[in-house]
Amino acid sequence: MSDEKTLEILKSALLLEIRGKAFYQKAAETAKNDSVKQFFEAMVAEEESHVKLLSEQFKAVKAKGKLIPPGVTASPENVADKVLSNELKKHIQAAGFEAAAISAAMGMEERAIKLYAARAAEASDTNEKQLYRWLADWETNHLELLAELDRGITEAVWNDNSFWPF
């Protein structure tokens, strides 16, 4: 494991997660519906846990030259089970800020997945591989949740406006 490369990746990862947290926080603050607000707050909490984990790893590499064995053997928690509901989909307007936020968040999650998957593939240290695979899986869960919301919003618009071609 190259300390410099690992620190550089951890810095990039932290920046992605901090930006994601700020983005979701702003979306939560502007949400007018409680279920929409709760969804974005759950995403803030997810990003906070990523920041904490990555910060601890950064400090460990800086101080000791190695990652802390991540202890991330459990599957990432599925946020969808907690917050995804028909009520949530109903309250997100297709042309509103929340729908645009979901679309933008999908791009952020895709960038995080790409970063984590690439680092997991190139890392030689077992702990580092495990950490980045786990983070990539966690972000993939987020992306799938957002994509499902986006599909639900799109379908609602199509149904409401009779856009179905059949």
Question: Which pLDDT band holds residue 164 (cuts at 50, 70, 90)?
Answer: low
- How many CB atoms are closer than 10 A to CB 38? 16
How far apart are alpha carbons 13 and 9 in whole angstroms?
Answer: 6
How far apart are alpha carbons 94 and 26 in whole angstroms?
Answer: 18
Which pairs with CB-CB distance under 8 Å and at least 24 residues apart come from 2-9?
A: 3/61, 3/65, 6/61, 6/67, 6/125, 6/128, 7/58, 7/61, 7/62, 9/115, 9/119, 9/132
pLDDT tens per residue, range 14-47: 999 999 999 999 999 988 888 888 888 988 998 9
Separation in Å, CA 104 to CA 24, 98, 143, 147, 158? 10, 10, 11, 11, 21
pLDDT at 73 over 50: no
Average pLDDT, the chain: 81
Under CATH, domain 3-69+82-160 is a member of which superfamily? Ferritin, core subunit, four-helix bundle (1.20.1260.10)
Check: CB of residue 72 under 8 Å from CB of residue 134.
yes
